[in-house]
Structure 1
Amino acid sequence: MTLRPALGPRAAVTEDGTRRVRERLRAGSLTPFGLYGAAVLRIGVAGLFLLNLLREAGHADRLWGPGSPYTPELFRASVQARGADGRLSWWYTWLGTPSPDFFWAAYVLAIAVSALYLLGWHTRLMAVLFAFVVAGFYMRSAVAASGFELLSLLFANYLVLCASGRRWSLDARRAARATPGPVTPYEELRRRVVTVLHNAGMALITFQVMAVYATAALYKIRGSTWRDGSALHYALRLDDFATFPELSHWLAAQGSGMALLAYVTVASQLLFPVLVFIPRLKYAVLVVMLGTHLGIGVLMALPMFSAITVVGDLVFLPTSFWLGAVRRVRLLRSPLSQRQ
């Protein structure tokens, strides 16, 4: 009797599990996952960053330029104090310039890079330049940076690994018109490397979103106001963050409803890393998170932070969802006679 028959079903189960692991690892080097999700993230992050640059153009010098209270001298001293002034520090300190001309030239360049990355023009190059731009603006506003700046920086760096120009981009349109050439061994190796990097980048993005929700929930649990359900009451009473004070005060007075909403918020964030991978519950938890972000954006005057978190959530929607959305859009754009 050989070893395998002696072990019986246990050996068969072990071999089957090993084969599945090998198949998944092989698929990870052959099939790029979430191409539509990567495209949506590219469009969303670049679009929001571009919108922020255009919106703040009138205040740019006071926010990031030489006219900022966080002067270039203070900026350099801060970087040195944190020990971040190494040989590669130019990568993220380039915006700390005392020259107004250089600053405005860099600002225009940042707008151009964001727009081209949004459109997916030479996406690989634009992804690197966009990460460079976002890092510079993040470091320049690090003293007063918000969640929007931080998530933009993280997503921009992860997207450098991703093939985000394969869908919904100028690159994709150009590739669709090109005549495919012969697949050489070098080209096959390049495709596999690109695929592995893309899948690794998408994995980092999904992990980052899950980590944000899980850590946010754990921090909330530590607070007594979240445990007794009064956190949203006090948050809505903060006039500094109230877009519509009367509405916020009215909602704050709904004690039982606000307490229930606080518990739902904590539970959905804490369980998000699990629920988002259960097909029947995925869309439900994403709708809950969408409602949470809309509430924060509308009622607490944090639209950019809410928008970037919504963009991050969209990565969890499957390819079938985006293909279905494309079909519906095409149907709505078609003549009425063709819809019947």
Structure 2
Amino acid sequence: MEPGEGLHDTVLPRAAVVAGAGGRGRGRRAVNRFSLAVSRGIARVTEAALGPYQTAVIRIGFSATWLLFLLRELPHRSELYGPDGPWSWGLAEQLIRANEAFTVLMWSDGRIWFEIVYALAILSSALLLLGWRTRTMSVVFMVGVLSLQNRSVFVGDGGDNVLHLMSVYLVFTRCAQVWSLDARRAARARAARERGERVTDRTGPALWCVSGFVLIAVTLAGRMEGDWLIPALLWTVWAAQALWWLAGRRATSGEPRILLDVVAGIVHNGALLVIMAEACLIYATAGWYKIQGSRWQDGTAVYYPLHLEYFSPWPALADLLSASGTLVMLVTYGTVLVQVAFPFTLFNRRVKNVLLALMITEHAVIAVVLGLPFFSLAMIAADAVFLPTSFLRRLGGWASRARDRLLRRGGRTPVPEQHAPESPETTHVGFGT
């Protein structure tokens, strides 16, 4: 036997076995860490509805945008969406028959029906803004937005497309966890239960009965023909509310209610993810399409809308901003850069917040300089989904203190500040929330 041959045959194989065992140990630890991370992620998604402050801001922003638009166009409502418009009821009927869009304004061509729908759109926007019976009002809000916009598809400035989509997504969110009358009502109900008092809700079941009667009547009348998606969504929400009430009132244990709450939380979190993805898609596609334009490439694109009469409510201000070629070039290239880069900055909180502030500022400038306030409000409301929770809580604290000062001046008792519920069971109470 050669010197060292036995050492080679015994020590090296043992070392290889030890190294292999160590590698398998590290592999198992990596798998365990991955499994733990996955389980934590699943628990976070299923245990609670995420982003309570962000979804509250989205609810307030889009309902306020639609409400202000309807109020501003109140004198011109008949020309925009009603029987006096250039896009007549017959033309709208032909188009809707082809694209199967949903609108209740096609149920009748009478002026009274149009006035009822327009009034309900205003009322639902105001109640959704306040957060009263949010589950029901979000559905009525969606019906109002779809009905008016699909009646006259050529009316709008780009923000209507965002509002159109977000009105559907809001139905799936639990957007009344904070800053709403529903949250205040839920807090009062919890306090009453802790005192041993019995809590009854008559308004919610009444809303459910009325909405069910309307759904049954219009379905039997054949008014739900066409696209199946919106009618199916209306029936699903109506049935889910009944199931929610039965699970909370008739079940002997809390397991059915907990299961429904987990499902509702998952649906909410999925809708929140879709809203975030939609906002990123809007900016990414807008930025990449701008890159392909020759005017955006040579840095002069911003100059031209400033000198269009339709987009110049303040001609002197537009002339002042476009007087410097360097400023026009920086704004043009900066707009493209921010829009293209924003989706990629979501992984860095500080950079994301800087770009978010720039985009909100840009939309505020567009609202003033180009005279597009509702487009800017819709985009700012969509941007709000990315705002930090700490900033939103501070903003809510400032608003609460300002409200308390006003109440004290009026001799009334201030209302306690609303915070996000610590348990998912405290999110909704009864029907219509």
TM-score by length of 1: 0.91
Post-superposition Cα deviations, 1:245-269, rounded to whole Å, max 9, x if no partner, equal 1221232221111101111111111
Distance in 1, Cα, partners of 2:41 & 2:112: 52
Contact kept, 8 Å, 2:306 with 2:370, in 1: the verdict is yes
The alpha carbon displacement at 1:146 in A equals 2.6
**2:103 matched residue in structure 1:** 93
Q: How far apart are the structure 2 equivalents of 1:78 and 1:38?
A: 34
**Residues 47 and 334 of structure 1, relative CA distance in 2, 3 Å threshold:** closer
Paired with 2:105 and 2:150, the residues of 1 have a C-alpha distance of 8
1:127 equivalent in alignment to 2:138: yes
Q: 5+ residue gaps in structure 1?
A: 336-340
> Which of the numbers 294, 313, 326 marks the counterpart of 2:396?
326
Partner of 1:50: 67
**Contact 2:118–2:144 at 8 Å: present in 1 too?**
no
Q: Computing the radius of gyration over CA atoms, which structure comes out larger, 1 or 2?
A: 2
Equivalent residues in 2 for 1:238-257, closer than 5 Å? 238-257=308-327
Aligned to 2:116, which of 98, 105, 108? 105
Is it true that 1:233 corresponds to 2:250 in the alignment? no
Q: Does structure 2 retain, via aligned residues, the 8 Å contact 1:53–1:111? A: yes
* Matching of residues 190-205 of structure 1 within 5 Å: 190-205=260-275
- Does residue 92 of structure 2 align to residue 75 of structure 1? yes
1:40 aligns with 2:57: yes
Bigger relative contact order, structure 1 or 2, given CA contacts below 8 A and separation 6+?
2
Quote the Cα distance in structure 2 between the aligned partners of 1:164 and 1:334: 24
Partner Cα separation in structure 1 for residue 293 and residue 27 of structure 2: 48
Aligned match of 2:367? 297
Residue range with higher mean Cα deviation, 278-287 or 67-76: 278-287
Note if contact 1:242-1:301 (Cα within 8 Å) is conserved in structure 2.
yes
The within-5 A match list for 1:238-277 is 238-277=308-347
Structure 1 residue aligned with 2:237: none
Kept in 2: contact 1:234–1:252 (CA 8 A): no
Residues 139-288 of structure 1 mapped to structure 2, 5 A cutoff? 139-179=150-190, 184-288=254-358
SS in 2 for 1:144: coil
Q: Which amino acid aligns with 1:26?
A: A
For residues 278-313 of structure 1, the C-alpha deviation after alignment (integer angstroms, 9 at most, x for no partner) is 222222111110121012111111110011101111
Q: How many residues align?
A: 329
Decide whether aligned partners of structure 1 residues 4 and 129 sit closer, same or farther in structure 2, where only a CA change above 3 A counts: farther
Deviation at 1:333, TM superposition (A): 6.0
Moved more, 262-271 or 176-185: 176-185
- CA separation of 1:331/1:46 partners in 2, compared to 1, >3 Å: closer, same or farther? closer
Instruction: Give distance in 2, aligned partners of 1:145 and 1:303.
Output: 12
Kept in 1, the 8 Å contact 2:80–2:155? The answer is: no
User: Following TM superposition, by how much is the alpha carbon of 1:334 offset from its aligned partner in structure 2, in angstroms?
Assistant: 6.5
Answer yes or no: is the 8 Å Cα contact 1:233–1:253 preserved in 2. no
1:33 and 1:199 in contact (8 A); partners too? yes
Deviations 1:42-68 (A, max 9, x none): 111111111111111111111001111
Report the Cα distance in structure 1 between the residues aligned to 2:269 and 2:98, rounded to whole angstroms: 37
Q: CA RMSD in A?
A: 2.2
Q: Relative to structure 2, which stretch is displaced further, 213-222 or 43-52?
A: 43-52
Paired residue type of 2:328: M
Structure 2: distance between partners of 1:57 and 1:202? 32
Corresponding residue SS for 1:142 = coil
% identical aligned pairs: 35
2:81 counterpart (64, 68, 88): 64
Contact 2:149 2:155 in 1 (8 A): no
> Residue type of the partner of 1:250?
L
**In structure 2, distance between residues paired with 1:15 and 1:230:** 55
Partner of 2:428: none
Report if aligned partners of 2:92, 2:152 keep a CA contact under 8 Å in 1. no
Residue 312 of structure 1: aligned partner: 382
Q: Does the C-alpha gap of structure 1 residues 98 and 229 become closer, same or farther in structure 2, counting only changes over 3 Å?
A: same
**Distance in 1 between the 2:390 and 2:136 partners?**
29
Single out whichever of 196-205 and 143-152 deviates more from structure 2.
Answer: 143-152
- After TM superposition, give the deviation of residue 217 of structure 1 in Å: 0.1
Q: Which amino acid aligns with 2:343?
A: P
What displacement does 1:6 show? Answer: 4.3
Name the CA distance, whole Å, in 1 between partners of 2:305 and 2:81.
29
1:8 deviates by 4.1
CA distance in structure 2 between the aligned counterparts of 1:244 and 1:10, rounded to whole angstroms:
66
Q: CA deviation at 1:121?
A: 1.2
Shift in Å, 1:332:
5.3
Distance 1:103 1:332 in 2: 39
Distance in 2 of aligned mates of 1:227 and 1:8: 55
Distance 1:135 1:332, change over 3 A: closer
Aligned to 1:27: 44
